[in-house]
Structure 1
């Protein structure tokens, strides 16, 4: 099911600024037992992004009602997506200050084999930095598209992306945690393209358990120091990594620990 501004429809005008200029944001959320477990966090991130970009905000209540409508139609588990654009704007970069915005909500089946451990390789495509957009889940994801093509062609379950200086940033669709020399680490938030909902929840759960993860940069040439790795996002939760850049990794005790921490915080819907 697809809703465009609250109407069952799968068409938008060719003049939509999301299509023409990637002038918008999106959220991808897990649907479990007819509800979105992390909905409040997703809406908070979306609202903050809309404020930064100056996008019209439809209101939490409108989005919640339409999410409930999609969830009822989907019946059970799946994926829900919200896209907010500035709406119609005609030709030119300068947005219409009177733009009313557009919202597109859709439901989808869960991806296959969410619970299986992944083989992760390193992509040639690098993540650029844009201080104005860092952390935003904006519509301009061409770097991730190119990297995902690489990963698929190589037969990997996920592609690891580096920044312009060769430091590990994130996967094409997951954030990463690893253990090296007994320390639990994750890339600094300043290196990330997206401020991840699940990553933030994991850091909070670790801190509450007195096991705070350390934000630490890791260069590509130090990947061999990683002893365990897990990846996470809001759809899959936490997943293990069985092979990193061609090197086998052991069955991860880190994966079990993180899932236990999430369960203690009410995240019981993991694949």
Structure 2
């Protein structure tokens, strides 16, 4: 009898978890307001919250065991978590099935960094016997992870020893928190790419024209071969004129022989040797 009586307990827990997830998925579809549903304490934070638009209307859950109690936490970005109106994060006691609102998305604070976004949901239900019976608060740290669109929701144990300023802390990895990468190409790089493409089209097109249409062979297949040869010769002459330092008017001379030694000698006439 004990075995038959103890079996329904875990089965009931599994069924209840399935029902909760089904209800959460249904409520997330019905929300459909995106990040605009969140009411921010500062309008300047709206740009930071817009970075998380792809996470809107998605439901995230996490389980934790605290002593003899087990809880399921449900988080939704700017949506009714678990179908509870205005609740961004709720706590579900698995034994009693009691739902507790931890924070409201209508009381949202947003703090953003280069690689992270911190959401703070305020004005949850009041604590029972600790933390000065102040209202609960949820803090969700969403960190940048380029390799994951959406990671798993992690929950950290609540610090109940504090006299005030208590909070529930959650962590979630997502690529939505990563900064938008702008193009690394500068204007000069783009111009170089365009110039390279134009040169490639000129060479390939000219080569095909010279070979297939004109019927050129060898180096004559190079487009405008005569023009570029002349350009090369003129460039070499200009470099020779500018860079070489020797006097161009002096004629070359062998070592030890001056230019005076190679002057043209007068022609010797041998007319007197002819017979008269």
Normalised by the size of structure 2, how large is the TM-score? 0.21
* Structure with a larger share of its residues in strand: 1
Please identify the structure whose Cα radius of gyration is greater. 2
Higher relative contact order (CA 8 A, sep 6+): 1
Normalised by the size of structure 1, how large is the TM-score? 0.21
